[in-house]
Amino acid sequence: MLGWELPPYNTGGLGVACYHMSKALAIQGANIDFVVPYSAIHPGSEFMNVHCATGLLPYERFELGAYDHPILHSDPLSEADTNDLRDMHSVQDRYVKYVEKLVRITKPDIIHAHDWLTIRAGMRAKEITDSPLIVHVHATEFDRSGSISGNPLIHEIEYEGLTMADRIVAVSQITKDLIVQKYNIPADKIEVIHNSIDLDSFNDGHEYDKRTYKYLEAMKQEGYTVVLCLGRLTIQKGLSHLIRAISKASEKYDKILLLIIGEGDQRNDLIEFAADLGISDKIFFAGGFFGGKQKRDAYAGSDIFVLSSVSEPFGLTALEAAHYGNALIITKQSGVGEVLNSVFKYDFWDIDLLADQLIGIATSSALRNSLQQNVQYEYSRISWHDVAAKCLKMYNLQIGAGS
Amino acid sequence: MTNKRGIVLYLHAHQPYRVRKYSVFDSAVNHDYFDDPDYYSERNNEQVFRKVADKSYRPMNALLEKLIATHPEFKVSLSITGVFLEQAEKWAPDVIESYKRLVATGRVEIVAETYYHTLAFFYSMVEFEHQVEAHRNKIRELFGVETKVFRNTELSYNDSMAKWADKYGFKGILAEGWDPILEWRSPNYLYRPTGTDNIALLLKNYRLSDDVAFRFGDKNWPDWPLNADTYCEWVNAAITDKEIVNLFMDYETFGEHQWEDTGIFNFYEAFVGKWLENPANTYYTVSEAIDAFEPVGEISMPYTVTWADTERDLTAWLGNSMQQEALRYIYAMEDDILRTNDLELIGDWRKLQTSDHVYYMCTKWFNDGDVHAYFSPYESPYDAFLYFINVVRDLRWRLHAYHHTGGLNG
């Protein structure tokens, strides 16, 4: 299993998905060597062998997060690695070399590579061992770059990997369609396996702390409805449309507040945009953080969660928000909508409909309660064990086909 | 003399006025709830009516006319809602003409119901009686006949409804022949509802009705494809030593629920011929069946029974809080709406009572992932509720404009 991150050192949904998928696979009998590009101890990952491909510390790799664009690394690095780990390319090279060594020692039955960062290592491993290569697509460069065309080098790596893969897993039909359309890969080579959510990870004794967002709590007492969105503040997340919809909704019903959790290159533009619309007092930029109490309190304290992405392969945050009892509004361009029915859906650009849905939920307790309760019921039936079972079935078919 | 054993075929025709994607930004601005601007959307009532007229109303009326002409004993009972007739007058007047021809043969009986196909009985007796009266008037005006037998929306029925219909002067009432109520008794007789004096109860034989209405075109059904001979054997088996078999179904079974290519029209034509080959067999209209036989016993249904779902209750319409809230808001306006004497406003309010609106808000299959278990022109039950509640807001705004009282968030 070739990944780029695992909890608690994850920058987004990729690490969480890899962790839970591996865990469910291990429970169903798979023997997993999981390679990450940094050095750390991963508590809770004892069900598999975690291999650290470089001596980098996890936080140094954060700047090279799975969801970030490759940029020249200007921050100081650990003494030992300053020579060749200044950029993404060098980290990948080191990662590839590590994987080459690893598969020469122990030949894997299956190589399962997650996203473009590990694709080169996956292809090398296949060349060396001739074992079947599964490329698991959580996001393509088209998703990461929003409306911009993206990095041509990454496109090329993705294209090569998808072409060379024996089998491709897409996290949603949306992603599968994109792979077929943009990379010209035959549809029958791609299997859709939706991500899931691990219910146990929520049973950690966390209790909602009303003090975290004291001001918002006070506003709720006044009858305000709190809308949450959580993610990187990039064009891909469609936040300017959401802010516009909040503005539009305010014309009719002004007791709606928007809490934005996350950081990103669009942050300052969004703050300015809200001011231009004259609704700065309705929008709270709470900054970003890697998991933890603040995030959970944000989920627990909100009434509505909006996944406003222009293009979202899956959208794990929606499932998390469902767990905390939010009513969900999801763009039709988000893969998670394929596994949830008890939600409102809208096209990311349709701010009129989004505003209408926001007001509808804010002003009708029957609608709000129905959405909140029914989506909780729905999401609780989604399981990583089903994901693992599908993966194992696919592995066995591939192994059978090769022998 | 003893009467022949007979089939009582009863078909129910209805089309609601679907609410368009009515936004909160339309509230207090536009009052055109039922006019979806997109002609090809499933919410465009004209488009839907014209489509179903082609697929079902025209060919089935033609078949009924043919059967009446061919078989002197063939009879049928129809209930046609007021909102159906309004739409037919606008978009398919020839369908009205063919219904008129059918009624004029004297072998087609029209059954009474609420004009707007509503659940008013459970909310407001005044409004309910008004709608029954409005329907009787419409039938009298169009077809020149009096209705004598009553059925309520979705075949919903309970003892108090039977008592009401008895006092109101109906000679018969229709209900589901549901096993937990019937226990050892057969639906293939006439009964007397508990606590009534004169009215007779006709109970739907749901197995034989649903073989045609639901299962006919289902290729996974072990008995598919069903032919007229087999079905005739089944009806014969059911009616042996009994009096009647009540086959109640949606009119749209023919051509819309079961498309023409399932063979439904040919099947039914062949079946009627087959059934009437035996001189011991006949068809009755609902009134004729009541005249021909005597009730064999008394049946009580203290709780409401409908012809819907495996539960045979009203949960598809009133099972969740959105549905309950929607109808509570609507009926809470009754007095204020009627006091305006604004016929357009009152008409809109009544069209919004049509039970289909709350049916589209049903979530009981939806959150089991079985989103195709029911038909809706909306993306989800939540969207159906959203547009409906925006319309409720507009009704309140219009009321506010008339009475200069009340708030908009009540």
Is 60 exceeded by the pLDDT of residue B1?
no
Structure confidence at residue A58 (pLDDT): 79
Question: How many angstroms away from the CA of A102 is the closest CA of chain B?
Answer: 44
Is 90 exceeded by the pLDDT of residue B370?
no
Structure confidence at residue B369 (pLDDT): 61
Question: In this complex, do B363 and A342 lie within 8 Å of one another by their Cβ atoms?
Answer: yes
Confidence of residue A72 (pLDDT cuts 50, 70, 90): very low
The mean of the pLDDT values for chain B is: 94
Domain holding A220, by residue range, is: 201-379
- Is A171 inside a domain boundary? yes
Residue type at position A183? Y
Question: In this complex, do B24 and A356 lie within 8 Å of one another by their Cβ atoms?
Answer: yes
Is 90 exceeded by the pLDDT of residue B342?
yes
Residues A80 and A180 in one domain: yes
- Is A2 inside a domain boundary? no
The pair of structure tokens assigned to B363 is: 């979530």
Span A256-292, pLDDT tens digits = 999 999 888 899 999 999 999 999 999 999 887 655 7
Of B23, B321, B383, the CB nearest to A370: B321
Structure confidence at residue A249 (pLDDT): 97
Question: In this complex, do A364 and B322 lie within 8 Å of one another by their Cβ atoms?
Answer: yes
Of B25, B366, B390, the CB nearest to A341: B366
Strand partners, B191: B201
The pair of structure tokens assigned to B327 is: 């109808």
Which of the residue ranges B157-161, B188-192, B369-373 would you say has the lowest mean pLDDT? B369-373
Q: State the Cα–Cα distance between residues A49 and A153, nearest whole angstrom.
A: 31
Question: Is B154 designated active site?
Answer: yes
Structure confidence at residue A290 (pLDDT): 53
Catalytic hit among B154, B243, B256, B288: B154
DSSP secondary structure, B253-266, as one string: GBTTTB-GGGTHHH
Q: State the Cα–Cα distance between residues B103 and B285, nearest whole angstrom.
A: 12
- Is A371 inside a domain boundary? yes
Confidence of residue B310 (pLDDT cuts 50, 70, 90): confident
The residue in chain B having the minimum alpha-carbon distance to the alpha carbon of residue A341 is: B367
Question: In this complex, do B321 and A359 lie within 8 Å of one another by their Cβ atoms?
Answer: no
Mean per-residue pLDDT for B8-24?
97
Residues A178 and A287 in one domain: no
The pair of structure tokens assigned to B304 is: 């409401």
Residues A218 and A187 in one domain: no
Q: Is A383 on the interface with B (CB under 8 A)?
A: no
Is 50 exceeded by the pLDDT of residue A82?
no
Is 50 exceeded by the pLDDT of residue B255?
yes
- Please provide the distance, in angstroms rounded to a whole number, between the alpha carbons at the two ends of chain B: 64
Residues A93 and A211 in one domain: no
Structure confidence at residue B33 (pLDDT): 97
Question: How many angstroms away from the CA of B106 is the closest CA of chain A?
Answer: 49
The mean of the pLDDT values for chain A is: 88
Q: State the Cα–Cα distance between residues B183 and B10, nearest whole angstrom.
A: 24
Structure confidence at residue B146 (pLDDT): 97
The neighbour count for residue A80, using CB atoms within 10 Å, is 10
Strand partners, A327: A304
From the list A332, A317, A320, A328, the residue with the least C-alpha distance to A373 is: A328
**Residue pairs between chains A and B whose CB atoms are closer than 8 Å:** 74
Is 60 exceeded by the pLDDT of residue A63?
no
Residues A219 and A155 in one domain: no
Reduce the DSSP state of residue B320 to 3 states and report it. Answer: coil
Reduce the DSSP state of residue A85 to 3 states and report it. Answer: coil
Structure confidence at residue A67 (pLDDT): 47
Q: Which residues of A touch B27 (CB under 8 A)?
A: 252
Question: In this complex, do A342 and B24 lie within 8 Å of one another by their Cβ atoms?
Answer: no
Read off the CATH number of the domain in which A333 is found.
3.40.50.2000
Structure confidence at residue A81 (pLDDT): 44
Residues A116 and A209 in one domain: no
Higher per-residue confidence, B84 vs A39: B84
Residues A127 and A231 in one domain: no
- Is A8 inside a domain boundary? no
Is 70 exceeded by the pLDDT of residue A147?
no
Q: How many domains does chain A have?
A: 2
- Is A3 inside a domain boundary? no
Q: Which residues of B touch A369 (CB under 8 A)?
A: 321
Of B24, B321, B363, the CB nearest to A359: B24
Q: Which residues of B touch A329 (CB under 8 A)?
A: none
Question: In this complex, do B385 and A355 lie within 8 Å of one another by their Cβ atoms?
Answer: no
The pair of structure tokens assigned to B5 is: 């054993």
Which of the residue ranges A145-154, B11-20, B337-346 would you say has the lowest mean pLDDT? A145-154
Residues A190 and A206 in one domain: no
Residues A177 and A124 in one domain: yes
The residue in chain B having the minimum alpha-carbon distance to the alpha carbon of residue A359 is: B24
Span A157-195, pLDDT tens digits = 999 999 999 999 999 999 999 999 999 999 999 999 999
Residues A110 and A207 in one domain: no
Higher per-residue confidence, A64 vs B342: B342
Residue % of chain B over a pLDDT of 70: 97
Question: In this complex, do B386 and A377 lie within 8 Å of one another by their Cβ atoms?
Answer: no
Which of the residue ranges A76-80, B97-101, B373-377 would you say has the lowest mean pLDDT? A76-80
Structure confidence at residue A1 (pLDDT): 96
Is 80 exceeded by the pLDDT of residue A211?
no
Structure confidence at residue A217 (pLDDT): 87
Confidence of residue B324 (pLDDT cuts 50, 70, 90): very high
Please write down the long-range contacts of A386-389, taking CB distance under 8 Å and 24 or more positions apart.
A386/A196, A387/A20, A387/A21, A387/A24, A387/A193, A387/A194, A387/A195, A387/A196, A388/A21, A388/A24, A388/A25, A388/A27, A388/A28, A388/A30, A389/A28
DSSP secondary structure, A289-308, as one string: -SSSHHHHHHHHH-SEEEE-
Residues A181 and A211 in one domain: no
- Is A7 inside a domain boundary? no
Which of the residue ranges A37-46, A350-359, B252-261, B327-336 would you say has the lowest mean pLDDT? A37-46
- Is A4 inside a domain boundary? no
Q: What is the dihedral of CA A331, A335, A341, A343, to 10 degrees?
A: -30
- Is A153 inside a domain boundary? yes
Residue type at position B274? K
Question: In this complex, do B382 and A342 lie within 8 Å of one another by their Cβ atoms?
Answer: yes
Q: Is B301 on the interface with A (CB under 8 A)?
A: no
Residues A367 and A222 in one domain: yes
Mean per-residue pLDDT for B150-163?
98
Span A374-398, pLDDT tens digits = 998 888 888 899 999 999 999 999 9
Q: Which residues of A touch B23 (CB under 8 A)?
A: 352-353, 356
Confidence of residue A148 (pLDDT cuts 50, 70, 90): low
